[in-house]
């Protein structure tokens, strides 16, 4: 028995354990490699192809004291744009008078109150004037703090900022999550935000939201507790949608920024798979270059297969946050169903670079996205959103 244990069972268990450890190490290594591959930026940065949008938001909204919005399906891209807007070089001499504050709404606790929200939002302002406690601005801030950041006190603070020539640029990332924060989903919060940001021109509070839901959809979603003007109509005109870019712009990005020479077939493939969306182009270009480096026999096909997995993951995630109607529209286009009742959604998906019209027929821009949804049902794909909405 002892011999059996010593010479057979223990070595066998040791061997199996070693194999298991090796498998785990390999998996972790492979996962990290893949993550590194996908996160690697082959284009200059995640903002490639988005200069126009950044310039427009900075110079035509923030610089003139107006609010705006960044609308798009890909969170990384939206966040990168908000980050880019903090660059003082965009604002010339005025930059010194701007105070930037960024809040990721999804990081706020579910029971976050209006008091907590404004406490976080005004932290950079509080820090800036912390050494000047006798200043009228700091006193106005203190007054807010002592009165639970009620709208009336916030109005006075913003008025004081205007008087002194300061501007608070409040960036609210993942804004759509606010609708899932019960204490903030109120007329007092949304109505207050609207009044604070849009009552005067130029405003000393510029609200810059990033959301995967368009502003009109957010207004629709807040209708149930709104009896007056749409809460977010002050953002509509200053909203930029991160959609597809032109073939010419894609060619310029690929020719001038990568240091890698693509054939015309490669470029056609990249446009077809990415649907000319800069964010997807970034992802697919990385995979293709890696396929070439790995000396794959058929690099385009390999890329298509790898990207398809990635597309599946991305789309599933996107569907979670799209309204059921937007989701249904996308699937209806892919499966050539009747889309006559989805006019507004079609327009929105076109703006966001998911759909394009060719010969009077709507189609999905990215061939991988089209492939992924072609056999799926609405229930299958839009289920998660519906569940999300109920919670």
Shortest distance, CB of residue 216 to other proteins, whole angstroms? Answer: 4
Closer CB to other proteins, 75 or 191, in the complex: 191
Count of residues in contact with other proteins, rule CB under 8 A? 46
Residues 138-144: contacts with CB within 8 Å, 24+ apart?
144/118
The footprint of other proteins on residues 174-233 (CB under 8 A) is 187-192, 194-195, 197-203, 215-216, 219, 226-230, 233
Letters for 331-360 (x = contact with other proteins by CB under 8 A, - = none) are ----------------x-------------
Shortest distance, CB of residue 123 to other proteins, whole angstroms? Answer: 24
The footprint of other proteins on residues 145-164 (CB under 8 A) is 151-152, 156
Per DSSP (E only), the strands in 290-354 are none
327 contacts 378 by C-beta, under 8 angstroms: yes
CA dihedral of residues 155, 161, 165, 168 (deg, nearest 10):
-90
The footprint of other proteins on residues 66-125 (CB under 8 A) is 66-67, 91-93
Shortest distance, CB of residue 82 to other proteins, whole angstroms? Answer: 18
Q: Which of 48, 54, 65, 157 is in the footprint of other proteins by CB under 8 A?
A: 65
88 contacts 293 by C-beta, under 8 angstroms: no
Q: What is the DSSP letter of 37?
A: H
How long is the chain? 391
239 contacts 92 by C-beta, under 8 angstroms: no
Q: Which of 43, 48, 63, 333 is in the footprint of other proteins by CB under 8 A?
A: 63
Shortest distance, CB of residue 222 to other proteins, whole angstroms? Answer: 12
Alpha helices in 206-342, H assignment, sequence order: 215-221, 233-236, 247-257, 264-274, 278-293, 299-321, 324-334
**Cα angle value 299/30/18 (rounded, 5°):** 135
Closer CB to other proteins, 33 or 229, in the complex: 229
69 contacts 235 by C-beta, under 8 angstroms: yes
Residues near other proteins (CB under 8 A):
52, 55-56, 59-60, 63-67, 91-93, 151-152, 156, 187-192, 194-195, 197-203, 215-216, 219, 226-230, 233-238, 347
């Amino acid at each position: 028995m002892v011999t059996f244990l010593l010479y057979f069972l223990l070595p066998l268990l040791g061997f199996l354990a070693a194999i298991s450890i090796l498998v785990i190490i390999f998996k972790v290594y492979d996962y990290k490699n893949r993550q590194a591959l996908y996160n690697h930026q082959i284009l200059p940065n995640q903002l490639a192809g988005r200069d126009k949008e950044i310039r427009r938001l900075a110079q035509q909204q923030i610089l003139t004291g107006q609010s705006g919005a960044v609308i798009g399906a890909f969170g990384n891209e939206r966040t990168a744009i908000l980050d880019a807007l903090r660059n003082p070089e965009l604002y010339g001499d005025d930059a010194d008078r701007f105070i930037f504050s960024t809040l990721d709404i999804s990081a706020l606790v579910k029971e976050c109150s209006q008091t907590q929200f404004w406490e976080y939002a005004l932290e950079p302002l509080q820090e800036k004037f912390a050494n000047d406690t006798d200043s009228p601005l700091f006193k106005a801030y203190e007054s807010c703090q002592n009165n639970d950041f009620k709208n009336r006190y916030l109005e006075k603070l913003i008025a004081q900022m205007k008087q002194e020539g300061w501007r608070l640029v409040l960036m609210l990332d993942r804004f759509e999550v606010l609708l899932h924060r019960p204490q903030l989903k109120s007329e007092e919060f949304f109505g207050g935000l609207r009044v604070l940001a849009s009552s005067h021109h130029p405003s000393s509070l510029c609200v810059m939201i990033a959301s995967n839901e368009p502003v009109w959809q957010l207004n629709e979603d807040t209708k149930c507790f709104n009896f007056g003007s749409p809460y977010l109509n002050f953002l509509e005109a200053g909203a930029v949608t991160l959609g597809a870019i032109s073939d010419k712009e894609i060619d310029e990005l690929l020719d001038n920024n990568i240091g890698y020479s693509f054939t015309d077939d490669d470029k056609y493939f990249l446009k077809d798979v990415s649907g000319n969306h800069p964010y997807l182009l970034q992802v697919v270009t990385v995979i293709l270059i890696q396929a070439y480096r790995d000396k794959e026999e058929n690099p385009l096909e390999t890329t298509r297969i790898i990207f398809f997995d990635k597309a599946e993951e991305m789309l599933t995630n996107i569907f979670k946050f799209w309204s059921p109607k937007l989701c249904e529209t996308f699937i209806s286009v892919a499966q050539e169903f009747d889309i006559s009742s989805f006019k507004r959604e079609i327009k929105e998906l076109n703006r966001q670079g998911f759909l394009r019209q060719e010969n009077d027929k709507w189609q999905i821009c990215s061939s991988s996205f089209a492939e992924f949804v072609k056999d799926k049902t609405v229930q299958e794909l839009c289920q998660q959103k519906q569940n999300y909405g109920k919670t």
